[in-house]
C-alpha cells in the first residue's frame, strides 16, 4: 500500500515569543545536542529548534534522535537517511544497502518497529518555511535551485525532490551555478569544516559523526552559532543533561 505523504512544504509563523535555532545533521549524536541546548539556555516554552534532517544513521543514539520528533519544540525536514529508512520499510531498498550508508544501528529492529518509524517520518515535509518577508528563512536538507515562489508552490518533480534530498552540486560547483531570489535557507547534507554560505543557502552540517567533526547549531537570522564534538560534549557531562 502506498503511504500517505505529508505536505512537501510546511509553513510556520514567525516566533514572536522566543528564539528559533537550526541544527545540522544530527546522525544519532544526541549527547552533542543536549550540550548545545544547555549552552544556549533553550527555553522549550518559547524557543523552537528546526532540523535540516538526517536525524539517524552512523551515530549511536538514533532511537533517541527519532524520539525528538515527539517534542513540540522540534521541527525537522526529511533527510536522505530518513528517506532510506522509509524505502527499506516499504520494500523499495534492501536492508543491507541501507546498512552500508549507516543504517547498521537498525540491524536488530524487527520489521514492524521499522515500519512504525517510517510512518512517523513520512509525516515530515521536505521544506519548512518560517516567517515571511524580510524575516523569512527556509529549512531543507540538501539544496534547492529556484526562488521563494517556486519553493512555496511545492511542485517538486522527481529530479527536484532528488536534489532536495541528495544534491551536492551547489556545494561542489558554486562558482559556476546561478543564484536565485531565495530567502536565507539553511541546508545540511554536505559536510563542511565551518559554516559556508553560497548565495542564499547556508550549509551547517559540520560532520558530527566523524572523529574530527562537530554538531553545529545556529540562531536563525543571526550570525550566532555554536559547535561541539560528541567527545567534548560527553566530557562536559552532556549524557546527564536532560532534554527540554
Rounded average pLDDT per 10-residue block, the chain, 244 residues: 67 96 98 98 98 96 96 98 96 93 94 95 97 96 95 94 95 77 95 94 96 96 97 96 94
Query: Rounded to whole angstroms, how far apart are CA atoms 16 and 4?
Result: 33
Inside any domain, residue 139: yes
Inside any domain, residue 243: no
Q: What is the dihedral of CA 28, 29, 30, 34, to 10 degrees?
A: -160
Inside any domain, residue 224: yes
171 and 198 in contact (C-beta within 8 Å)?
yes
Q: What is the pLDDT of residue 173?
A: 84
SS3 content of the chain, % helix, strand, coil (to 5): 35, 15, 50
Inside any domain, residue 244: no
Q: What is the pLDDT of residue 2?
A: 44
Q: What is the pLDDT of residue 179?
A: 72
Count of beta carbons in the 10 Å neighbourhood of residue 172: 10
The CATH number that applies at residue 37 is: 3.60.21.10
51: β partners: 23, 76
Q: What is the pLDDT of residue 7?
A: 82
Range(s) of the domain holding residue 24? 10-238
Q: How far is CA 35 from CA 2, 39, 71, in A?
A: 39, 6, 17
Inside any domain, residue 3: no
Count of beta carbons in the 10 Å neighbourhood of residue 83: 24
* Cα torsion 5, 54, 132, 171: sign: negative
Domain count across the chain: 1
Amino acid at each position: 500500500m502506498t503511504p500517505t505523504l505529508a505536505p512537501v512544504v510546511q509553513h510556520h509563523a514567525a516566533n514572536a515569543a522566543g528564539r528559533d535555532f537550526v541544527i545540522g545533521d544530527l546522525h544519532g549524536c544526541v549527547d552533542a545536542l543536549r550540550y548545545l541546548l544547555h549552552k544556549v539556555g533553550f527555553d522549550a516554552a518559547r524557543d523552537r529548534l528546526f532540523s535540516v534532517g538526517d536525524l539517524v544513521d552512523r551515530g549511536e543514539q538514533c532511537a533517541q534522535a527519532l524520539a525528538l520528533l515527539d517534542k513540540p519544540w522540534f521541527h525537522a525536514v526529511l533527510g536522505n537517511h530518513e528517506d532510506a529508512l522509509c524505502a527499506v520499510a516499504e520494500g523499495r531498498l534492501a536492508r543491507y544497502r541501507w546498512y552500508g550508508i549507516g543504517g547498521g544501528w537498525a540491524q536488530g529492529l524487527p520489521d514492524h518497529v521499522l515500519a512504525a518509524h517510517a510512518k512517523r517520518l513520512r509525516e515530515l515535509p521536505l521544506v519548512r518555511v518560517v516567517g515571511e518577508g524580510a524575516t523569512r528563512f527556509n529549512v531543507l536538507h540538501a539544496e534547492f535551485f529556484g526562488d521563494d515562489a517556486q519553493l512555496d508552490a511545492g511542485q517538486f518533480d522527481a529530479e527536484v525532490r532528488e536534489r532536495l534530498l541528495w544534491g551536492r552540486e551547489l556545494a561542489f560547483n558554486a562558482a559556476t551555478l546561478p543564484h536565485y531570489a531565495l530567502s536565507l535557507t539553511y541546508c545540511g547534507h554536505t559536510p563542511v569544516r565551518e559554516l559556508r554560505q553560497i548565495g542564499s543557502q547556508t550549509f551547517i552540517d559540520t560532520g558530527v559523526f566523524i572523529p574530527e567533526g562537530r554538531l553545529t547549531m545556529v540562531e536563525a537570522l543571526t550570525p550566532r552559532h555554536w559547535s561541539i564534538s560528541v567527545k567534548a560534549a560527553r566530557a562536559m557531562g552532556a549524557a546527564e543533561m536532560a532534554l527540554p
